[in-house]
Amino acid sequence: MSEEKRTNIDTERIEKAVTEILEAIGEDTSREGIKGTPARVARMYGELTAGMEQNPKEHIKSVFTEDYNEIVLLRDIPFYSICEHHMMPFIGSAHVAYLPDGKVLGVSKLARIVDCFARRLQVQERLTDQIAGFIMDSLKPKGVAVVLEASHSCMTIRGIKKPGSAMVTSALRGIFIKDSRSRAEVLGLMHHGNNS
């Protein structure tokens, strides 16, 4: 998915807007290093928001019947998203787990689902909830647990300027809400070996 770009995007309009911003901050838009910037920024936004054109259901096609009744966890999935408040990136790792109920998902599909929801204008809380809700609704497992850890450039390089800080959000569904031992097990697996 790293090469996917949006097809339904008005790049010409973005280029005009970026040119206007550059001029508004006092930049010379005819300068050699800036001349191609509006087009590059338009392409960048197409790539960073590619998830807006994707249907996450595309990634639920690789479901297999399997008599497996223990936790399935994909940990440390790198992701990036764009904060909708300042349109600056937040970058982190996702940990996605589920307890199957007769069906398992192809392992790469968990990472693709994360990317599909991350590559949109987002807030981390909603992103976490969307991933968990989608897997719960689509796969119908006994439970889902999603934890996202991310660094937000809107607070590390501007505003309060606290580099090194990380925001952690979680979303639990099914057995991971109802049963404290299952919740402790899945959260322990997610953080096993992590220094955080």
Catalytic residues: 83-86, 124, 152, 154
What is the SS3 string spanning the chain? CCCCCCCCCCHHHHHHHHHHHHHHCCCCCCCHHHHCHHHHHHHHHHHHCHHHHCCHHHHHCCEEECCCCCCEEEEEEEEEEEECCCCCEEEEEEEEEEECCCEEECHHHHHHHHHHHHCCEECHHHHHHHHHHHHHHHHCCCEEEEEEEEEEHHHHCCCCCCCCCCEEEEEEEEHHHHCHHHHHHHHHHHHCCCCC
